[in-house]
Amino acid sequence: MGEQAGRMVDVQQGSVVVAHLHGGQSIAGNFAVSLDKMVQHDESVLFPPIRVQSNVDLWKSRNDAVKAFLDATPGEWLLFIDDDMGFGPDMASRLKASASPTKRPVVGALAFAYRRYEVSDEQASRFIVKPTIYRFIEKADEVGFAALDDYERDTLVRVDGTGAAALLIHRGILEGLREEIGDHWFSPITLPKGPGGRTQFGEDLSFCFRLLVSGVPVHVDTSVKTSHRKPVDLDEWYFEHQPTRLVEPEFVVVGTGRSGTGFISTALTSVGVHCGHEGWWNVHGVHAPALKGDASWIATNYLDEYEGRVWHQVRHPVAVIRSMIGNELFMSPDERPDWVVPFEEERARWAGYASDDAPEVKALRVVRHWWETAEKHAEQTWRLEDFTPGLLVELAAKAGQSVPLQYARAVVDELGTGTNKHPDGPLLEWTDLPDGDDKAAVEALAAGFGYEF
């Protein structure tokens, strides 16, 4: 229980209260649909949300929302979402999974802002897009928050500041600030430094600055994506400078599931090669623009239709099969979670998934099918266990990126070899698998790759 404004509030552990600001007009459709789906998806999101009318003084509106949260709701977590945002139904649960009341009490989703940098002769505004991921900088004549372009993808990032357009905050942090400064969580802060002798922060970065000086950590989970609806001026310049048209990536790294395609994607991206992880070949049928390459085990069944370079990464079959067992794809139809449904139309193309055999038999069949298919197309094959900085330099060069060996070595040292990204399943041995054509074929291929049993 917490005492707020002279009264006791029964806090419902794990609950999330959404607060959003609105301009007094209709709410954007992307926000309304996103919020409705999230409330239906996540029972911990309490309804109704806190809705506060915004004006030029956004800080007042945000302070009013926090007061309403603390004084009139049982929520443990406050989730600010602006009403021009689009987001997934699991955003609240995913942010909460990344957060912690004490260690990570403030976690934002990945969001983007824009700012105007010029106006054309035809009065078209040009904008630059930046992630709302900021580092605090202080120089002799300058102080402020600088946006980072080169943020880490799909991970939890410690930051100095972020926006409040999609921000999860624990009740305890807000209560603590109330005791120290009153109800001024988002009130603007001005520092006596910068152009004209002063720098004033917006309401969101003022909140983050208070946390920064108090030693309260702020994070952004860059795997939790959002969209931010803004108007733009459409003209020829915008047409010429829009994102690259969708074309198939120049190369693909294939492998069985649990063979480290996520690892190789991260390694190549870390040395400057724009390589996605299931960015082109994925279960959703979404094609990311301008990918140099993609690392995707799903791509294997599409190699007959692909004209680019194919690289094959393998991992010891016993480790792969152990890790595959228990995976959602091997469950019976009535056991599979909702996210597996998009696989159904593809299931006929993917050997082994539709059978009623034991999971280890299905996994063995999948390894055979993937290895045989990939080897028909691959110009190069390597073992995940043998991945080296030299190989990373070689692959980057083939993708058109020159990388110093020392830098590649630092990347591999930081990432490891990728062999421990997925926990192994039951401790079965090769001798535990049933004899037959599938086992014999995999054993022969594995011997060719240099594996022993």
User: pLDDT (tens digit, 9 = 90+) per residue, 9-26?
Assistant: 789 999 999 999 887 666
Domain span(s) for CATH 3.40.50 in the chain: 251-449
Which residues have a Cβ under 8 Å from the Cβ of 342 and sit 6 or more positions away?
283, 284, 285
Domain 2-236: give its CATH architecture.
Answer: Alpha-Beta Complex (3.90)
Residue corresponding to tokens 């054309």: 120
What percent of the chain is helix, strand and coil (3-state, nearest 5)? 35, 25, 40
Cα distances from 269 to residues 301, 329, 367, in angstroms, run: 24, 28, 27
Signed CA dihedral, 434, 440, 445, 450: sign only: positive
Number of C-beta neighbours around residue 249 at 10 A: 26
pTM higher than the cut 0.75: no
Residues 223, 221: Cα–Cα separation, whole Å: 5
Number of C-beta neighbours around residue 275 at 10 A: 27
Report yes or no: 163 and 204 within 8 Å, Cβ to Cβ: yes
> Does residue 250 or residue 234 have the better pLDDT?
250
Domain span(s) for CATH 3.90.550.40 in the chain: 2-236
Q: How far apart are the first and last CA of the chain?
A: 58
Per-residue pLDDT tens digits for 154-212: 999 999 999 999 999 999 999 999 999 999 999 999 998 877 788 999 999 999 999 99
Which residues have a Cβ under 8 Å from the Cβ of 140 and sit 6 or more positions away?
none
User: What residues does 129 pair with on adjacent strands?
Assistant: 114
Among 26-35, 51-60, 72-81, 235-244, the least confident range? 235-244
Measured at the CA of 393, the angle between CA 391 and CA 394, to 5 degrees, comes to 60
Report yes or no: 323 and 258 within 8 Å, Cβ to Cβ: yes
pLDDT above 50: residue 341: no
Which residues have a Cβ under 8 Å from the Cβ of 1 and sit 6 or more positions away?
8, 9, 10, 11
Q: Say which CATH topology domain 251-449 has.
A: Rossmann fold (3.40.50)
Per-residue pLDDT tens digits for 42-78: 999 999 999 998 877 899 999 999 999 999 999 999 9
Report yes or no: 21 and 61 within 8 Å, Cβ to Cβ: yes
